[in-house]
Structure formats: C-alpha cells, structure tokens
Structure 1
C-alpha cells in the first residue's frame, strides 16, 4: 500500500495572499467552487485557511485529512484511479521523456493532462469529484473548504500530491516507469556525457534579406492559371523576406491579404480605394478606410486636444478666411472637404472627398498638425 504523506500545519498568512498559482492548482479550486452551494461557506473557508486554523494535513490515496478547531475531523475524499487507468496514464507519461522530467521538476504539463483525459484518465477533479466530510454539525462546512484551499498550496508545490490522492505516490510511479519498456534517448542516441563534451557548434550566418525574387517562368498547362501561380510565388517570397527582416508578420484576414497582394502586384480587383489605403498605411490604413470605431474616453480626449491644437496652428499659419467647422463622429473629424481619422495605433489618417466618397489622401502622421498645413 502506498504510504501517506504528512505536511505541517500552515501558519497564519496575510489577507491578500493567493491560493492557487499553478494552472492545476486553480483547476482543483475550480472543482471545489463549482460544486459548492453556499458561497458564504467558501468565504469562511478562505478566511479560515489563511488564518492557519487547521492542523497538519495528511494526504493518502483517495483521502485528504486534517484536524480543525474543537478536534473536528475534516476529510475530503477523491476517487482513486483503477489499475487499468493507471496503465493508460503511465503509457502517456512514458510516451514522452519530457513528461517524466517535468513531473520530477514539480510541473504538470498541459499536454500530459490532455493526453490522459483523451485516454479516459481524469487526473484533475471536476464538479462533484471532491466529497467533503466533517465531524462538525454544520452542513456547509468551512473546515473542509479551508482544507481544500490549503491543499491548493500543496498542489502548487508538488503535483505528485494530486497523483497520490488519485491512488499512487511518487516512488511507486517512478518505479513503475522504470520497469516499463519506455523509449529512452540515452539508449538510442549519444550518451549525455559525450553530447555535452562536444560543446555547442557555431550557428550559421543568417541568410541575406535582399535576394531578388526570380519569376517562375512556368509554361502554360491545362487547368493551371500560370499568372496567378506566379503572383502567389512572388507573394510568398515577399512575405518570407519581410519575415527575415522584421522577425514576425501580422496575421491577415483573407480580405486584407487580397488587398495586400493587389497593392504589391498591381492586380485589378476593383479595390482602388483599398489599395491606396494599404499603400499609405498597410493594414492599419485599410482599417482606417473601412472601419469606424469609438476611442476610449481618455484616447478621445487626447485626440480632441491634438486636433484643436492643430486647428489653432493651421488657423494662424495657412488657412485664409478661417477654418471650416469641425464635425465629429466616433474616430472621424470632418473639416469641409478634408477628413482626419484617428487610428487604433494613435496615428491620424488623412482623407479627401472625391465624387461623394472619402478617399485616402496620404500616409498617416502622429500629429494632425502635419495634415492641416
């Protein structure tokens, strides 16, 4: 039988201390809080746990126990895994050497828990899996709630506590894994001592970012749009070059990517205004053309102050006969046949009226005064 583990009583802790900080510790508390019918009991349990009112905690297969005030016995029971479930769990652990290393490093990998669940092995408790018992007369017991909250600290420090509650302790699990015919990098590859003795070889030089793209020069073929294929290849080469120089690329929607390709390769897709917006400001310029949005109150006040200062400067310097009245709607300020649109990136995008529609009129500026000169 797996030996129980004992933990000393937790001392009083400050009021603001958190209970669970690991994802598996939070899952443990989620099972408690989702099951509880009395929120007052949970509040009392948290306060009781932080006050250090429980005695030493004993963890054994399927059972969490501590002595509370007035010698009440607080117990929380958890269903143990069957032998078949343990076999499936060990299969998942042994399938990846990193799982064993993570557990020994007191970490519970997300992918291990997901793989175990897919194999029908529930490691983390769910609603109704924690069964409290207490010798006190209260039906909604703060003692067992406090015990669960303090147990989240134990789980944070050592996920083997959870595995012990499910039925098997650390030594038993390690021995079972040792006896299994698990794949081992040390058996199939280079011994670690020899690998470390080799040192780290120098990294290759980064590839040049200014390599010119050579057209594919494809021959026409039935059912193949050669022109479209060549554009796609050129687009992929352009994106790869941008990735090398910038380190990352923004994710684009299908529409944004169509506009990007139309702007880059002069494709005729009836997107003249969109192409102009993209060439002036990229994805942010396209959003300024297509999307109206309401800035946060603080951003809106800052935008209005910037625009008022710009209008004052323009009034003094350039505009004869006075400035037109300003009409504001969401992130758009209209001044006669001009319009300035405040972007989510904090820049101002200029537009001009053409045939009853607003047309991108130039690149954005951080200061609207540069657009009213």
Structure 2
C-alpha cells in the first residue's frame, strides 16, 4: 500500500484534547453517525472522558479503516478500530466529476473545507460521503459487548478532531488518498489541447454606462399557456442561475421537475400529472431530496436504529409496529427512515401511502 494511502497521526495527549467537541459540521456529522447508533449512552460519556484524558494512542488512517490502541483505567491497552465502507470506482467518478464541475467546490476542497452543498451535490449523484446511522462499524478486543464500547467511542471522538482539520481524512477512509484525488481533479480541469483556438483580440465593446433597462420585459401569453406561467419559469431560471453561481447543487431532470412543481403550484399540472407525480411533489414539499428518496427507494437500516424506533413507538401507539426495511407501519400511519436518521410520516389515502408532513428525529412524535 502506498504511503499516500496510510496516514499516521500522533496521539493528542491530555493537553491536546481538552475535552472539546467537533467544530466542523462534517466532524459533528461523523459523531452523529456513532451517537445515533449507540444503545448505551454511558459508553459514549466514558469514551468522551477517555478521549479528553488522552488515553488514545497514535491514530492510523487507511482506506476503510481508522485504528489506534486505547488505554483504560482498568487495563489495556486495547486494539480498537472503526471501519467505513469504501466508495466504488463508479461513486468516485461521480463525486470527482461533481467537484471538478464547480469552481467553488474545487477551491473549497483543496482549501480543506467541505461545504454542505458539496456533500448535497454528491448525495444527489447517489454518493454518500458522510457516514449515516450504522455505517461506522466499531471493533475492539476488550471484553465489552457494547457497540460502540468506550474505547471505540474515544477513538471516534478523536477522529472527529482529525476531520475538523482535514476532510481528506474522511476521503482516505472512503478509499482514495489526497495525492490521487488532486491528480484526478487536475486531469479533469486541465485545458484540452484539441480545444485551444487561435488567440484573437476582441473588437471594441460598446459603452454601456448610459444603458438603463426600461423595466421588466413584457411576456405575452401563448396558446394554452398563460403569461404568468412564463413569469414563474423566468423567476425559477433566475433562482437557479444564482444557485449555480453560488456553487449550489443542480438536481437531476426528474428531481428538478418535481422541485419546480413544488415551488410553483400554478404550473405543477403542466409539468406532470397522475397520482405518482403528485405523491412525488408532496414528498419533496415536506422533505426535499431526502423526502423524495424515502418515497422512491427503500433501504435496510442497521438493527440498532430499528430497535431505537421500536422503543420510541411503544409508548405512543396501541398498534403493534410492523417493520419492513426502513418503513414502519402502525395502523393507518407509516413512518419511513431516511439515511440521515429522520423519520417521514405517511398516511393511507385511497389504498396508497402518501407523504403527510415534515420529518422528525423521534418517530414517536409522528404517531403520538
């Protein structure tokens, strides 16, 4: 394995830890993936104390794995690691293409920043960079049975500090080192020799200093299409242009059609029709991209997430919850878990399940 694919970090030590929390939003997302999976909060609290006390040794990061030895007040050291699935080559291609296509994303990543819209753009392409519930797989040779044990929790807390300083640590765990990522981004942004044209000096541009628009353009109606429809589309195009200039993600064609129908109900009937389209618009209205994803694509959450949901629902419904992958049905109500740990409510209408409101972290709030 090349040097670029194995990175070692010295131990923080008690003086370097100070019991701090993760500062970056992606560092906090890393911790949420661990905390939302844990069934024993006492292990998390002990892990935070161990991290602050500097009981975690030097940390090694490699594709799919972060490892260290962790001391314990009752023994040790224990060999501890966290595993995270590597991205496939197809996923890497999608992600790097997205980064290279947005100058703001490229500059941010090379400056060791990971803006939320970059991660959202990757999610839209089907590439989930940040771990979700159950994605972090802890292992430790201690006698504890908890997942995570206090040693794995301590390692996870200190890993979030590494991520604060350098998001390339996360990308390395996902399978590629910084040098390879930089080389691939450079190859995507380098000018193509076959596109180089002869240098030409442009003619003199007209003086626009005195130009003043007379007002908003007059948009006539067209057969079967009222003028206000064009006005709404023009407003949407303007909003999308501003979003692109700001480096925000551009949704796919189907998603954009659904988003447009949700944002401008007056033109929804001209963008699509039928119950399936209406359900998709309702899902986007309540939950955005994640709402549409749980409508379209069931997935299998970790057992710990389902166990926590079963406990939360036990006190608020007399119906026995029935779980089917990420969907839980209790009577005439169904909730669906997205990959960020939020539950989306559904109600049965005409024999079909329809999105019924915004998501909540606690599914009991949706059935209560």
Kindly name which structure, 1 or 2, has the bigger radius of gyration based on alpha carbons: 1
Task: Give the TM-score, by structure 1 length.
Answer: 0.49
- Structure with more relative contact order (C-alpha pairs < 8 Å, separation 6 or more): 2
